[in-house]
Chain A
């Protein structure tokens, strides 16, 4: 690991000052579960680190406003996952956190840092033995023509097909969350839909935040379908694994029993959290049945571009969408 300077500001204002004074090689450290891990692998090599993991002023969890839930960026994944109001009123969000990582890591990782978790692509993590345009722009991509079972079937490019690994951001994407950030140039709010970017020709660029901008808060509007929601995650093993396919789904019904609010977003299959508006349209105004749920699943995966070893994700994904909608529908208030 390369040497780096370390500062631990006591307040957000001090953190902004530290970021303003810092050079381009500076990284924000929160729970450390991604950044410190990648520093050990020499994939991240910041010259300076600004540690924000104990900024209690941005660690509050607020589920008291029935119109909008708010999560301080430094709140721990485990604490948000265990919030009783969230578990009852917005299960997709709580489950997306509870089904990620292990309890040890959830006690460390923050809900702000989690949004910017970097890919688990083995060629990216494998280091200089493998070409990787994300790690070393212009070097090529070992996943193209390589072992691509875990790679993206949506949102990839000729330079990168690495999967976005997170779960929380997928659930947030389904429910139109926004992210409040602060930096030396002031505060701004970024829609979660505008936070992550497809790799295109610049796979090293994964999000739209500047290096000196700090996530302070995540806000999620409570939707009619929030209570009837789930995060359904299919893995190689039952627990403690990244998603092969995951689905954040939400359903609400009108007086006649037809779907009036439908949310579907996918994880584990795309280069970024992947919303499925066409699939949502399939169900909106229709009754939720096994048949209509499968049609929604087929619409969600209609544009998939599978690679040599991950064609299975299409059939698995269609059925995971249908199962997620069934679970969500059972939870919805009729």
Chain B
């Protein structure tokens, strides 16, 4: 299994149980505030790798992923559940990580955009379809769009263009790449399930 931390700062150490364990100290300047709160031990997996940490219950899953685990593929847009940029999967279902207190995912499995491609780096067909269909401009919303698109297909909500649009409406793209995003999801859904029509 490959390490999930792709940039320095997460400071992972091996926990006695073989899982990944991160120390609270890497929050830096927030330390003084955190010490007054009641910390809660939380264990979960991220992209298949076990994580165990002492969390302040105020911390969002989004902040834990980005600031503590160094998984910066998941983006912070509005931080209030309105834009979908922070979409990840929790036990296989898409959620917004900004409105999820990280302590709530105890015992559950988180999948982020970093866990979508194959271990050898081969992109998922939906990621390839985003490239083929020019489904991004600035790219900031793209990780959330891909996570949401994957779930949309898995849920069986990609039956036609109207349904795809409806079930991707929680992911905003201010560049306006919606036509390409729709095409990428439609194309991938059709490849996965031949019953899906032209839309």
Contact A4 B58, beta carbon cutoff 8 Å: yes
Instruction: Compute how far the CA of A4 lies from the CA of B148 in the bound complex, rounded to whole angstroms.
Output: 31
Q: Which of A6, A33, A102 contacts B84 (CB 8 A)?
A: A102
B22 contacts the other chain (Cβ, under 8 Å)? no
Most buried by B among A8, A41, A103: A103
B33: A residues at CB distance < 8 A: 3
Whole-angstrom distance between the Cβ of B161 and the nearest chain A Cβ: 13
Query: What mask results when residues 82 to 112 of chain B are scored 1 for a CB within 8 Å of chain A, else 0?
Result: 0010010010011110011101101000000
Return the chain B residue nearest A106 by Cβ: B170
B100: A residues at CB distance < 8 A: 32, 36, 108
Jot down 27 A-B pairs with beta carbons below 8 A, ordered by A: A3-B58, A6-B40, A6-B101, A8-B106, A29-B104, A33-B99, A36-B100, A37-B80, A37-B99, A39-B58, A40-B80, A51-B103, A53-B104, A78-B93, A102-B96, A102-B169, A102-B171, A103-B94, A103-B170, A104-B87, A104-B95, A105-B170, A107-B90, A107-B95, A108-B100, A238-B169, A240-B169
A54: B residues at CB distance < 8 A: 104
B114: A residues at CB distance < 8 A: none
A256 contacts the other chain (Cβ, under 8 Å)? no
- Beyond the given pairs A51-B103, A102-B96, 8 more chain A to chain B contacts, judged by CB atoms under 8 angstroms and listed by A's residue number, are A1-B58, A3-B38, A8-B103, A29-B104, A32-B99, A78-B93, A104-B94, A104-B170
B106: A residues at CB distance < 8 A: 8
Contact A103 B104, beta carbon cutoff 8 Å: no
Which are the 4 A-B pairs with shortest beta-carbon distances?
A102-B170, A239-B169, A6-B57, A3-B37
Return the chain A residue nearest B38 by Cβ: A5
B36 contacts the other chain (Cβ, under 8 Å)? yes
B69 contacts the other chain (Cβ, under 8 Å)? no
B84: A residues at CB distance < 8 A: 102, 104
A5: B residues at CB distance < 8 A: 38, 57
Which residues of A line the B interface, CB within 8 A?
Answer: 1, 3-6, 8, 29, 32-33, 36-37, 39-41, 49, 51, 53-54, 78, 101-105, 107-108, 238-240
B155 contacts the other chain (Cβ, under 8 Å)? yes
Return the chain A residue nearest B34 by Cβ: A3
Most buried by A among B37, B81, B95: B81
Q: Which of B80, B103, B166 contacts A6 (CB 8 A)?
A: B103
Instruction: Compute how far the CA of A36 lies from the CA of B99 in the bound complex, rounded to whole angstroms.
Output: 6
Return the chain A residue nearest B100 by Cβ: A32
Which residues of B line the A interface, CB within 8 A?
Answer: 33, 36-38, 40, 56-58, 60, 79-81, 84, 87, 90, 93-96, 99-101, 103-104, 106, 148, 151-152, 155, 157, 165-167, 169-171
Instruction: Compute how far the CA of A40 lies from the CA of B103 in the bound complex, rounded to whole angstroms.
Output: 16
Return the chain A residue nearest B157 by Cβ: A103
A49: B residues at CB distance < 8 A: 57
A104: B residues at CB distance < 8 A: 81, 84, 87, 94-96, 148, 170
Whole-angstrom distance between the Cβ of B64 and the nearest chain A Cβ: 14
Return the chain B residue nearest A108 by Cβ: B95
| CB-CB under 8 A for A103 and B155, given A6-B57, A6-B103, A53-B104 | yes
Whole-angstrom distance between the Cβ of B126 and the nearest chain A Cβ: 16
B155: A residues at CB distance < 8 A: 103
Instruction: Compute how far the CA of A107 lies from the CA of B95 in the bound complex, rounded to whole angstroms.
Output: 6
Contact B152 A103, beta carbon cutoff 8 Å: yes
| CB-CB under 8 A for A4 and B57, given A37-B81, A103-B155 | yes
Return the chain A residue nearest B55 by Cβ: A6
B96: A residues at CB distance < 8 A: 102, 104-105, 108
Contact A3 B99, beta carbon cutoff 8 Å: no
A78: B residues at CB distance < 8 A: 93
Return the chain A residue nearest B56 by Cβ: A3
A53: B residues at CB distance < 8 A: 104
Instruction: Compute how far the CA of A123 lies from the CA of B33 in the bound complex, rounded to whole angstroms.
Output: 29
Return the chain A residue nearest B36 by Cβ: A3
Most buried by A among B36, B57, B157: B57
